[in-house]
Amino acid sequence: MITVSTRSFLYAALLAAILTGCQTRRTSEPGSASPAQPNTEAVKQPAAETPSLIGQVASLSLYPVPNNPKNLAISVVVTVSNSGSTSNAQGWTLAVNSPGKYDLRGLQPVHVNGVVAMPGTGTRVDLDKEDLVIKSRDTPIGKGATLKGILTFVLARTSAADLSNNNSTLVIHFKDSQGNSYQTANTKIGAKR
């Protein structure tokens, strides 16, 4: 049974709790400073921007290596665009998959000299000046910028007929200057672009 003195004590305790809650709410309202309560909001630092590269195969050409027709050269026109912080593209490699025949990975580009006509374009290019390994090393790609060049790879004991029209694909792998890895989309060899 609750007596009058117990009931008075309960009312007093309830009133004290309500007043304490109102006082706390008043000091924590926005815009009010309370010297007894330190600012607990952390100062937010902007995240460091990183490179964001995208590589695309624009065109490719298959041809026997001059003076060594048992080997196949693949010249690939690649564009690299960047939507992040400035970076160089580097560490270029090629992966070729030909169902039932080849699954080659990590092929390194070779440096080629000479002026050639690019198939399908009618334009002549200087492979030495357009070598993407050199261009991407010497030319940082800024935010919103694009760099275009040519990569040439040699496949030993391979012919164009081995790769054309049999669902063979290639992928170019590369990295930015911070070591992040990228790759182009799977590109079907022999498909018209």
Domains plus CATH for the chain?
53-188 (2.60.40)
8 Å CB contact between 93 and 181: no
8 Å CB contact between 161 and 101: no
8 Å CB contact between 189 and 170: yes
Return d(Cα 5, Cα 41) in angstroms, integer. 45
Which run of H or E residues covers position 174?
strand 169-176
Return d(Cα 75, Cα 186) in angstroms, integer. 16
Name the pTM for this structure.
Answer: 0.72
pLDDT in tens, the chain (193 residues): 544 454 454 444 444 444 455 444 444 445 545 455 555 555 666 667 899 999 999 999 898 998 999 999 999 999 999 999 999 999 999 999 988 887 899 999 999 888 877 766 678 888 889 999 999 999 999 999 999 999 999 999 999 988 887 789 999 999 999 999 999 999 998 765 4
8 Å CB contact between 112 and 131: yes
Specify the pLDDT at position 44.
Answer: 65
Specify the pLDDT at position 114.
Answer: 84
| Residue 117: C-alpha distances to residues 51, 79, 88, 126, 187 (Å) | 33, 18, 28, 9, 21
In terms of C-beta density within 10 A (0-12 exposed, 13-18 middle, 19 or more buried), how is residue 82 classed?
Answer: buried
Specify the pLDDT at position 124.
Answer: 86
